[in-house]
Amino acid sequence: MKLKINLDLLLVQRKMTLTELSNQVDVTIANLSKLKCGRAKAIRFSTLLKICEALNCTPGEIFELDEKA
């Protein structure tokens, strides 16, 4: 089982760039890119909440369990 990150999909659906999200949540583009690519080892709950507010979504829409992997 693997954790799938749907940040790319949410950004496209919201017509938002990674730069715009970075500015809204005050997180560097590099750190958001790591999260988007699945290379982040951890995320603070406060950061996750800011991302959810900016994208008008829930954590369950960002993260998904991929049972095939």
The domain segmentation of the chain, as residue ranges, is 2-66
pLDDT at res. 67: 86
User: pLDDT of 44-61, one tens digit each?
Assistant: 999 999 999 999 999 999
State the CATH architecture for 2-66: Orthogonal Bundle (1.10)
The pTM score is: 0.91
Beta strands in 19-69 (DSSP E): 63-66
Q: Which two tokens stand for residue 25?
A: 């949540």
Q: What is the mean pLDDT of the chain?
A: 95
User: pLDDT of 8-20, one tens digit each?
Assistant: 999 999 999 999 9
Q: Which two tokens stand for residue 24?
A: 């809204």
Rounded to 5°, the CA angle 40-44-45 comes to 130
Q: Is 32 left (phi over 0), alpha (psi -120 to 50) or beta?
A: alpha
pLDDT at res. 69: 66
